[in-house]
């Protein structure tokens, strides 16, 4: 019986040592050994990377389609764009609100002869507890002169909002998303509307938008 106790204590002590030295052995195997007394910095590692449906658009009008890939990385929504040779040319993080968030719709529009915008529709998920709340918003991915190196992402307003409070008060708003020239400057704008509520986004150039 005494020998079994010694054996189990040895296993527990060995496991603790292995856990403590994991980072050192990782550097040892990669050949990246630290100097004596130098602290080993732990780099964050992505644990989960889930790819969703792939959308294909000819973004720059050259007759060749690019791949637009929604992804989940450690539970966070990302949007990645690759060219025809699968070289990554753009990526961006889309911050959501709650569980079950996802990109579910993309729409490419011409704002003018020189400016295009990809409207990204993100279901931001929901929160539940004392109250339930669910939202969705648009993101605007714009570029100029068919140059994909100018791709720039802008976070737009909500186009859907559903809420139920602790006292059973409930309301829901479905906004329409329209594209037209609001100020007659020759460049179409983004209008998000619900009854008399109107949010206007005017493109100012170089990826910048102005809210009204």
With cut-offs at 50, 70 and 90, classify the pLDDT of residue 126.
confident
> Helix, strand, or coil here: 26?
helix
> Which of 28, 138, 133, 127 shows the shortest CA–CA distance to 94?
138
Please give the Cα distance from 76 to 84 (Å, whole number).
26
Under 8 Å CB-to-CB from 184, ≥6 apart: which residues? none
Whole-structure pTM value: 0.74
Question: How many residues are recorded in the chain?
Answer: 212
Question: For residue 129, which phi and psi values (nearest 5 degrees)?
Answer: 170, -120
DSSP 142: E
Q: What is the pLDDT of residues 138-197, one digit of tens each?
A: 999 999 999 999 999 999 999 999 998 777 788 899 999 999 999 999 999 999 999 989
DSSP 97: S
For the segment 121-131, the average pLDDT, to the nearest whole number, is 87
> Which of 181, 183, 163, 182 shows the shortest CA–CA distance to 173?
163
User: Which residue did the predictor score with more confidence, 164 or 2?
Assistant: 164
Report pLDDT for 129.
Answer: 73
Q: What is the pLDDT of residues 44-63, one digit of tens each?
A: 444 455 666 899 999 999 99
For 1, 146, 157, the CA distances from 43, given in Å and listed in that order, are: 44, 37, 34
Please report which residue ranges of 21-170 form alpha helices under DSSP H: 22-30
> Helix, strand, or coil here: 10?
helix
CA 54-110-202 angle, to 5 degrees, is 110
Of the listed ranges 21-30, 99-108, 112-121, 158-167, the one predicted with least confidence: 21-30
Question: For residue 30, which phi and psi values (nearest 5 degrees)?
Answer: -85, -5
Is pLDDT of 4 > 70? no
Please give the Cα distance from 187 to 144 (Å, whole number).
12
Is pLDDT of 72 > 70? yes
**Average pLDDT over all residues of the chain:** 82
Percent of the chain residues topping a pLDDT of 70: 75
Report pLDDT for 32.
Answer: 52
Residue pair 100/122 in contact (Cβ under 8 Å)? The answer is no
């Amino acid at each position: 019986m005494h020998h079994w106790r010694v054996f189990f204590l040895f296993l527990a002590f060995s496991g603790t040592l292995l856990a403590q030295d994991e980072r050192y052995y990782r550097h040892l195997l990669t050949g990246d050994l630290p100097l004596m007394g130098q602290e080993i910095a732990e780099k964050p590692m992505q644990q989960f990377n889930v790819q969703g449906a792939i959308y294909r658009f000819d973004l720059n009008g050259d007759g060749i389609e690019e791949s637009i890939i929604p992804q989940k990385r450690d539970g966070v929504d990302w949007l990645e764009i690759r060219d025809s040779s699968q070289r990554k040319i753009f990526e961006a993080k889309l911050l959501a609100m709650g569980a079950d968030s996802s990109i579910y719709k993309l729409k490419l529009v011409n704002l003018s002869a020189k400016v295009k915008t990809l409207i990204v529709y993100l279901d931001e998920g929901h929160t539940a507890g004392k109250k339930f709340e669910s939202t969705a918003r648009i993101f605007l991915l714009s570029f100029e002169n068919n140059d994909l190196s100018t791709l720039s992402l802008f976070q737009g307003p909500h186009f859907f909002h559903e809420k139920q409070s602790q006292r059973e008060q409930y309301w829901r708003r479905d906004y329409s998303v329209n594209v037209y020239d609001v100020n007659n400057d020759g460049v179409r704008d983004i209008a998000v509307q619900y009854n008399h509520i109107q949010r206007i986004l005017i493109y100012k150039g170089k990826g910048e938008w102005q809210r009204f």
